[in-house]
């Protein structure tokens, strides 16, 4: 029996497995089976809660951030970061007495992230760090048109495409075509962004390794900073990012730090029966 918790942030959903002894390292096929929406629990990804001191290459972060968010995409591949996942992970730590409400830090492959989980159970805020703007540029195929993409790195890669209506993205069952592929040798998250009012944008996203998801926190941050640059918005100008699963509030501060605030909800607990999972 493997205990699990199910949670979501703006309907970007995750299976959470606590591994306090750092004794469980799931392979890609097992993760994919757990995340399968018909034969498994169903999720956009898996969050393993593991001591930072037990993660090779990240031990130096343990003093500041005792717990490491080991994030896997729905296909089992390892990802650098997940913005919505950090909020759900932080909510889990507080709910299971692994952290106290208020401000604390967690470790990720995208660096240490500073969290604020209010005592009243309200929305969680995460300091996402600063965006990076690689020099390389690419285009994304939207319908029968190649449109320019804004290349933004939020600890993981993003290609932000501005459209008039997010419906132009079509069916995002398959990864959008990107050229040249050399810009994103390990794949990319693609955001389709449309205006939704003053300092408001709408977004749909195809997440690398997961397909279209109801929300993507790092993608929302990438979309926000790309829109703010396009709009010539001053620092400290908050944006509302509307995704199919809800609303995220994002602000870029004077020093370049990006803070994202949104819901983080734990919805169920249970036990996995390993023999019931069938790897494809």
Q: Which two tokens stand for residue 112?
A: 């240490």
- Asked about 35 being catalytic, the answer comes back as no
Alpha carbon separation from 148 to 62, 161, 179, 183, 185 (Å, rounded): 40, 7, 10, 13, 18
Annotated catalytic residue, options 43, 150, 216, 220 = 216
- Residue 159: which H helix or E strand, with range? strand 157-162
Q: Do 108 and 81 form a contact (C-beta atoms < 8 A)?
A: yes
Is the CB of residue 11 less than 8 Å from the CB of residue 244?
yes
Compute the distance between CA of residue 186 and CA of residue 157 in angstroms, rounded to an integer: 9
Q: What gap in Å lies between CA 65 and CA 19, rounded to an integer?
A: 16
Contact of 131 with 124, CB cutoff 8 Å = no
Measure the CA–CA gap between 83 and 102, rounded to whole angstroms: 18
Q: Which of 31, 33, 82, 226 is catalytic?
A: 82
Q: How far apart are CA 71 and CA 78, in angstroms?
A: 6
Is the Cβ–Cβ distance between 66 and 118 less than 8 Å? no
Active site residue 216: yes
In our burial notation (b when 16+ CB lie closer than 10 A, e otherwise), range 180-208 reads: eeebbeebbbbbbbbeeeeeebbbbbbbb
Which bin fits 11, alpha (ψ -120 to 50), beta or left (φ > 0)?
left
Catalytic residue positions, numbered: 82, 216
């Amino acid at each position: 029996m493997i205990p699990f918790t199910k949670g979501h942030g703006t309907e970007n959903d995750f299976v959470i497995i606590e591994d306090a002894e750092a004794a469980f390292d799931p392979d890609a096929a097992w993760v994919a089976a757990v995340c399968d929406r018909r034969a498994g629990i169903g999720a956009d990804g898996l969050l393993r809660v593991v001591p930072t001191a037990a993660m090779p290459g990240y031990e130096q972060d343990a003093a500041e951030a005792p717990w490491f968010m080991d994030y896997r995409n729905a296909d089992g591949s390892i990802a650098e970061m997940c913005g919505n996942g950090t909020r759900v992970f932080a909510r889990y730590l507080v709910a299971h007495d692994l952290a106290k409400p208020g401000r604390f830090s967690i470790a990720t492959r995208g660096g240490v992230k500073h969290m604020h989980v209010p005592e009243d159970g309200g929305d969680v805020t995460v300091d996402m760090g600063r965006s990076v703007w690689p020099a390389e540029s690419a285009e994304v195929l939207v319908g029968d048109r190649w449109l320019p993409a804004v290349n933004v790195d939020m600890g993981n890669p993003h290609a932000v495409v501005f459209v008039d209506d997010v419906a132009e993205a079509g069916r995002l069952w398959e990864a959008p075509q990107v050229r040249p592929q050399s810009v994103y040798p390990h794949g990319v998250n693609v955001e389709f962004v449309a205006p939704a009012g003053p300092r408001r944008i709408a977004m749909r996203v195809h997440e690398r390794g997961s397909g279209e998801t109801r929300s993507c926190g790092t993608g929302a941050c990438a979309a926000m900073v790309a829109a703010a640059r396009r709009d010539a918005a001053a620092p400290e100008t908050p944006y509302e990012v509307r995704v199919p699963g809800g609303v995220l509030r994002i602000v870029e501060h004077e020093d370049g730090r990006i803070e994202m605030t949104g819901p983080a909800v734990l919805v169920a607990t249970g036990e996995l029966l390993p023999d019931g999972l069938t790897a494809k």
